[in-house]
Structure 1
Amino acid sequence: MDLGLAGREALVVGGSAGIGLATARLLAAEGASVTIAARDADRLRAAAADVGETTASKVEWFCVDVTGEDAEAQLEARYCDGRGLDVLVVTVGGSIRGRFDSFGDDAWHDNYNMNVIGPVRVVRALLGSLEAGRSPAIVLLGAAGAKMPYVNQVVSNVHKAGLLALVKTLSHELAGKPIRVNAISPGRTLTRLWLDRAEQLAAEQGTTPDEVIEEFAAEIPLGRFAEPDEIAQAVVFVASERASYITGQSISVDGGVGRGLL
């Protein structure tokens, strides 16, 4: 299926690893002109080389920390030449494990800054470029825990739910532009976040990382974690012309973890 992305200008914020990197690969494979952004220059350079080798495409990159107050100025400067932006994907975010009484204000503020304020800054900075784009689409990364809160993950459960509220609200405000806004809400995915978490839990429990992954995978109806590419496939489809009538949605890609009807 031709997704209609050839020649489109795409930016993946959080594109140096995991789901963001997988998304950049797929966008480039569809013929989009891809730029990736994240905090670490070395990881960005390696990611751009990875995408270039696998897709024979040249990928641009630049550093930005969306949790910093100067993020908007950096993004605006990057796109100040008036070129349109057709696809904006924001995959930054993260979760921290622990019970409610184990977190003070700093943990709440830091996670909120990453999961909500970071994407807000990115979208706010690039609205003008999106308005100048062709059939522009924004895709943010939600989480299964926003719809069915995970135990021992209270902070990110709350903040990712807030991100989904942002998606729904923005989709109405920007529909007249018209800019589509959606979220992909992944379940447990084999990214560095989960691999590191498995190592930590294995050390605490006296088991192995593989056993930790198997234990969590047993809670998933499909019986396994997602691969980053499986989440990225959904991101790229929703960003494409084939999803031209989809906006304001949070689409779960969670292996069946979510039990709700809505």
Structure 2
Amino acid sequence: MDTIKEEILESLFAKAVHEPAYRPEFLQQLLAANVYCVGHTDRNDTAIDIQERHLSTGSNIQLKSWDDDEYTSVLPFFTSLEKMRLAISEEESFICLPAKTLFEMTFGSRLVLNPQSPDASKDFIPDEIDYLLKGEFGTSPENYLIEEDTEILIGQPADYPTFMVEQLTILFATETDVKAAYLAQMFNQRRDEEPSLLIGLELNEGLSKEHVQDLHSKISRVAYDSMQEQGLVDLIHMLDDDQEGVVAYLRDETEPFYVRAQGKKKGFFARLFS
């Protein structure tokens, strides 16, 4: 076990509960971490107290599920021995295995991370696990192409989404390919029944399609989780040679809410504990 990595993951988890900006990074770190589950392998030892079992290739294992009022049953798993000891008796055995392996082998089940922890716990439903295994953070944003001249209404939101902007600013500070970000409210009467928030992005050139999709997935997850009320959020790329329409409004009539700072990017530890 690596207690330092476990402490870092749990600290990030605690931040992610209240600040959506940290959720994509927490999920990435969790997927790369080892976790603990209540259960046993096909070894025949008799557990006298809490026993540790490391999963090896070809092992047959059994995981213990818990009854649950909402989901009938859930599978508990834990970020550390300390969190697990809060929830199980000393007579139960457990297994340490990669979180990604756990998600793959239990796919279709509902899991709960760190149940009975006073700091933070989280349910993982099958749809979310499916996204994580695909390297995504939620429903992928839909592309919308305007194929003809369209009149839209654009301005600043009457109720400025301060919390969402704060969380996106934290996220963008960790993404070196985001140069600047702008905000507006847009109403496309041909498409929408109500106005949507619009985030204009200036990105580095030459990014791969996969990297852009990854950015979109993170931004969409943080924006959606940060909104005080459910609504639509549109993303638009602001190219250097695009000086008309919506892009012209964002550049000429607004100030960016985020501009990339010059200098060396903060490391993960510095960002986590700053």
TM-score scaled by length of structure 2: 0.23
- Give the structure with the higher percent helix: 1
User: Whose strand fraction is larger, Structure 1's or Structure 2's?
Assistant: 2
In the superposition, the TM-score normalised over structure 1's length comes to 0.24
